[in-house]
Structures are given as structure tokens and as C-alpha cells.
Amino acid sequence: MKQIILPLIISLFIFQAGIAQVSLTLTPNPIATEGFADPNDLFVELIGYATLKNEGSETIDIRWERVISDMPEEWEVQVCDYNQCYVQIVYSNIADDLMLDAPVTLAPGETTNLDVHVKPKGVAGAAEINVEVAVANDPGNVILTGTYTFDATMVSGSRDIDKARLAVYPNPVTDYLEVQGASGVNQLVLYNILGRRMRSFNVAPGSRYYVGDLPSGMYLASLLNRNGSIMKTFRLSKRSIRP
């Protein structure tokens, strides 16, 4: 009997030790985002930015699941991670009914963006969206939940409209970056997370800006007007194409 019980105890200890090593943080959390709804531009979006980090000692595969707590039915929502931005129908990066299996693999100390994008479609309102995070092989054990809130007010003037239409894309980016709604924008400046200026571009309509040689990671992308004042700043995820 002892010969049977002892291996079971050892196996249980090893299993519990492996579970204990899983440590994730989401920064910030909760994530509150305010912006505008423009009935003349249905592609305006609000973005809740967050960074998920593996604080543990082992490489893990991450599964996330989007849960809409409250949102106007006219709005659209999508989640973006290190791999890609998913269309609205995708509620999880691992879902059998969608034939999708795209775990986010994080080595110790590695991070991924875990951003939520909403498009108000010209309808003012508020939303709360939760993203539940678990290890891919144990999806029922939610390690943490990110809470993303959005508040979209109707545009009240031309200045609000111009600001609402500004965007940099694609995000995440691998090689070339573009600016949407560039009217009045003079420069695109990229900073690393320490605040060091990494790249500066003069903005012109229809232009693309090469960032493929920048190291992978998180950056701040600021759009400046002709006076050098910041019009809007976005968090940008730069990634290299994995082999």
C-alpha cells in the first residue's frame, strides 16, 4: 500500500509545484478609456491598452477569453494580443467551435499586449469588457481577469472629430507604420518605455514609416502638430516575425 501512496504523493507535490510557478501580471488593471463617438466616421475606435507579463520561472502558453459584461449592441469589439488582432466573432484565442488554436507563448519575463478595441459606430455609451486569462492546458482555472471600461461621448466640434479620427496602424506592427486622419499632423515620434526618443518621422499623406529595425517591445507613438504640441499618443506593440 505504501508503494502505491508514495508515488501518488510525489506526483501531487510535483503538480502543485508546477501550478505554483505560474505567475502573471496585467498592467494596468482595471483599464479605463474615454473617447468619442462620431456618427460621420464609423471606424473611430477606443483602445484599452494593457500588458500581460509572465512573472514565473517557466515558459507557459496563455489562453484568454473575452466576456462582455455590458456594451451597446451597436458597438463592435475585438481583442489584440502578440499574435494578432482578432475580429469580433473571436471571443478566445483558443476555441474549438471557431477551429482556432493560437496560444500566446511567454517565456519567463516576456510580455504580450492584451488590448481591447471598441468601435462605437457613432453611438455614445459605456461598456465593460472582461478578459479572463488562464494557462492553455488548464482553461477552467482563471489566473487573472482584466477589466476594461469604455466611455464614448458624442463629438461636439471639429477639434473633437479630428482627434477622434487619429490613429496609427497596424498595431502590433512588424515593419511599416501608417497614420490615419493625418490632417494637421506634422510629426510621428516613437519613444521606448523609458521615454527615450527612438525614431522621428515627418508625416505626409499616404506615407508609410519603416520601423522594422526597431527591437521588439512596447513603444509610445506620439503625433505632433506644427507647433510641436502632442495631439495624441498611442501605445504601440512592435514585434518581429517569429520563425
Give me the helices (H) in the chain, please.
2-20, 158-165
> Residue 92 has what DSSP assignment?
B
Span 157-206, pLDDT tens digits? 555 555 656 778 888 888 899 888 767 788 999 988 777 889 999 988 88
Nearest CA-CA partner of 169 in 73, 39, 43: 43
- Statement: the pTM of the whole predicted model exceeds 0.75: no
Domains along the sequence of the chain with CATH: 23-163 (2.60.40.10), 166-243 (2.60.40)
Pairing of strands 94-95, 115-119: unpaired
What does the pLDDT read at residue 228?
Answer: 82
pLDDT tens across 32-90, in order? 988 888 887 788 888 898 999 999 999 999 999 999 999 999 999 999 998 888 999 99
Instruction: Read off the pLDDT of residues 108-156 as tens digits, 9 standing for 90 and up.
Output: 999 999 999 999 998 999 999 999 999 999 999 999 999 999 999 887 6
Per-residue model confidence (pLDDT) at position 10: 47
Residue in 133, 141, 54, 129 with CA at minimum distance from that of residue 93: 133
> Half-sphere exposure of residue 161, counting CA atoms within 13 Å on the CB side?
10
Measure the CA–CA gap between 216 and 172, rounded to whole angstroms: 10
